[in-house]
Structure 1
């Protein structure tokens, strides 16, 4: 029986659930083993029935905040010290040897790029197309500057050119990934793009997202992949769906923050809608939200089709694809360039609007929510996108590619 090691960042909801979906799709001759460092979403792995190995060293709360700020471009310092990277690579190499792993499937756990290659085990990465090397290298406008006017488009092209150089050519990767790579006999990681590229990159996107792009041989489109959380739907969702007011879903994933969650809830509280909001993990005990905003824990969002009328999302690929697959038009905020791109793809399809997170307290956010809740054209577009998504199974396609590579 071939052992496949899954290495998500386990405080990232989207990639933890993405790994679970691929593991579920593996055939019976393959055994999935999960590893990770933090504990936030490990319960989802255990609930899905997969064994989990907790490795060390884990990040402190301050290091996690620093990592998130680094990922979203708010900071230039990262928590990847040489000591931490070296210790994690050693721990991962020991686990790969202990399990006799035939392949490693990663999320954004960068140290696996070194440990799997050092152990000469094939490395797979189910990943959005946004912010991959080919996407950044070939995209004229990354939507880094919001707006559709001449000046905004020109400014965005300039920003995109600078971003492209910084991302694909500048040696800005933390130095630890060069020194530890050399110590383990593998090529160093120098650019941001090199930190996000495996031996085989499985693009979890729809065909239209790749229109006009040329893909290298180590990139394969597999299709959408999003969470199917095995949890009961809270009864309040059905009650709110039966009410005469539109029902809005507020989903901010695991990469937003308390300030944004409260700001969005406050604006939605002023609208003639009901809101179901799985944002409890962001709030403090003393926080209050408007009475029409019903805070919950994580929901089986893939079952919200036909229950909610619209959504407000942070823009992570998992939440965006869940909305697409369930036919729900949405307002996307976009906290970093990959999320902005995910939203803009849907804006092009007609089932979404984008409002920058800094505008959540402004009238344009309110107007966008009102439009996605009531515009028949957006509902029609969302229904068309849902039909297209029904033909796709990114997890199964990924599993078949991994199995074929292991067999060969």
Structure 2
């Protein structure tokens, strides 16, 4: 059997848990090794029983935020210096050699795209379709301009067209990657799209989300992959579910902020609902939320089906797919283009209502009332849940990795 090296961005919750799900789906005879640079969600890796190697240099909080903005297409500036990229590629290449890794699985750890190629090890990238090269190249709208009228649609198409050129054609990949690539004998990656394209790009979507798109040869659909955190639900969830008021789940992942968490909590606090809210990591000492909003740490959201009546989500693919798989209709507040696309796909399917983040105070209450009372939204959520029962993106990804390992072993 083989060593498979996983390189998630370990301050990104969805990405870390996506990698854990794939690692779990591999044949246990393989050696699974995780590498990360930040400590935020490393306990989830260790709790899942996987070996972890801490890497350095790590980022400051400001560098993390800048890196996320770059990865999510919100900025062309990045924190990737020549020194940081060079040090990380050196470390990753050394770990690949020392562990005899025969496959690398990455999230958005961009240095993996250089180190795996430099070591001539196949690179696998389980990835949401939104903001991949083929998505940006083919889509007419990225929902970058809010509004529903014709002028807003025209403006959005114009902005999307400009974004398409920047993302897929302009030589805007950080210069550090070009320098380090040349130093390691790897063809330079000049565009942002090429910087985020692996040998095998495994698209974590449902079939209808790819309608109208053609996938290039190196892209294939595997299906949804979302977190299954190994912990019980806190007792408060069962207690609240037994009460007559609707129970709402407030899930903001790891890419929201304190302001949005407090705004959403206070709007929900004004409604005749109970709320379970794993948002403790966003709150500061002294922050007060309404008494019907019960703040918790991260919890196993995949166990909430049948207990919560609706959700309010930031739009990250992990939280959205968890709601879809458990039949929970939701209000989505996409915080950046990838998340907005996830929310809009569900709104078009009928199991979600979209709200702009800047309109949370004004629009969240009405959107949640619709999610809780409109039978069409409930029916759509049930239909989507039923479709999800036939999908297992982690298992499909593991099969592809293992088939590649077998093929390599016979050549």
Query: After TM superposition, is the score higher than 0.5?
Result: yes
For the 8 Å contact 1:275–1:292, the answer to whether it is kept is yes
> Across the two proteins, how many residue pairs are aligned to each other?
407
Counterpart position of 2:264: 264
Per the alignment, do residues 39 and 240 of structure 1 end up closer, same or farther by CA in structure 2, a change over 3 Å counting? same
Task: Give 1:77 deviation, angstroms.
Answer: 2.7
- Counterparts of 2:72 and 2:226, CA distance in 1: 21
Counterpart position of 2:54: 54
3-state SS of paired residue (1:52): strand
- Counterparts of 1:166 and 1:355, CA distance in 2: 27
- Counterparts of 2:395 and 2:13, CA distance in 1: 20
Provide structure 1 residue ranges, at least 5 long, that are not aligned to the other structure.
none
3-state SS of paired residue (1:34): strand
Counterpart position of 2:228: 228
Counterpart position of 1:186: 186
Task: Give 1:62 deviation, angstroms.
Answer: 2.5
- Counterparts of 2:264 and 2:396, CA distance in 1: 36
After superposition, the C-alpha distances for 1:103-149 in whole angstroms (9 at most, x for unaligned) are 00000000000000000000000000111111111111111112221
- Counterparts of 2:184 and 2:261, CA distance in 1: 43
Provide structure 2 residue ranges, at least 5 long, that are not aligned to the other structure.
none
Counterpart position of 1:199: 199
For the 8 Å contact 2:277–2:293, the answer to whether it is kept is yes
For the 8 Å contact 2:74–2:336, the answer to whether it is kept is no
Counterpart position of 1:96: 96
Is 1:82 matched with 2:82?
A: yes
- Counterparts of 2:40 and 2:342, CA distance in 1: 24
Is 1:244 matched with 2:244?
A: yes
Counterpart position of 1:406: 405
3-state SS of paired residue (2:361): coil
For the 8 Å contact 1:72–1:335, the answer to whether it is kept is no
- Counterparts of 1:331 and 1:357, CA distance in 2: 11
For the 8 Å contact 2:10–2:36, the answer to whether it is kept is yes
- Counterparts of 1:239 and 1:127, CA distance in 2: 37
Task: Give 1:67 deviation, angstroms.
Answer: 2.0
Is 1:386 matched with 2:373?
A: no
After superposition, the C-alpha distances for 1:47-93 in whole angstroms (9 at most, x for unaligned) are 00000000111112222232234345554431101100000000000
Is 1:318 matched with 2:318?
A: yes
- Counterparts of 2:278 and 2:266, CA distance in 1: 15
- Counterparts of 1:219 and 1:30, CA distance in 2: 25
- Counterparts of 2:28 and 2:355, CA distance in 1: 45
- Counterparts of 1:232 and 1:141, CA distance in 2: 40
- Counterparts of 1:75 and 1:133, CA distance in 2: 16
- Counterparts of 2:256 and 2:186, CA distance in 1: 35
Task: Give 1:374 deviation, angstroms.
Answer: 1.7
Is 1:358 matched with 2:355?
A: no
Counterpart position of 1:114: 114
Task: Give 1:192 deviation, angstroms.
Answer: 1.3
Per the alignment, do residues 68 and 273 of structure 1 end up closer, same or farther by CA in structure 2, a change over 3 Å counting? same
For the 8 Å contact 1:85–1:111, the answer to whether it is kept is yes
**TM-score normalised by L of structure 1:** 0.98
After superposition, the C-alpha distances for 1:284-305 in whole angstroms (9 at most, x for unaligned) are 1211111110000001000000
3-state SS of paired residue (1:361): helix
Counterpart position of 1:376: 375
Is 1:332 matched with 2:332?
A: yes
After superposition, the C-alpha distances for 1:24-51 in whole angstroms (9 at most, x for unaligned) are 0001332211000000000000000000
- Counterparts of 2:360 and 2:296, CA distance in 1: 21
Counterpart position of 1:157: 157
Task: Give 1:361 deviation, angstroms.
Answer: 1.3
**TM-score normalised by L of structure 2:** 0.97
Counterpart position of 2:144: 144
Counterpart position of 1:301: 301
After superposition, the C-alpha distances for 1:260-297 in whole angstroms (9 at most, x for unaligned) are 11111111111111110000011112111111100000
3-state SS of paired residue (1:77): coil
- Counterparts of 1:145 and 1:302, CA distance in 2: 32
- Counterparts of 1:72 and 1:269, CA distance in 2: 31
Task: Give 1:208 deviation, angstroms.
Answer: 0.5
3-state SS of paired residue (2:105): strand
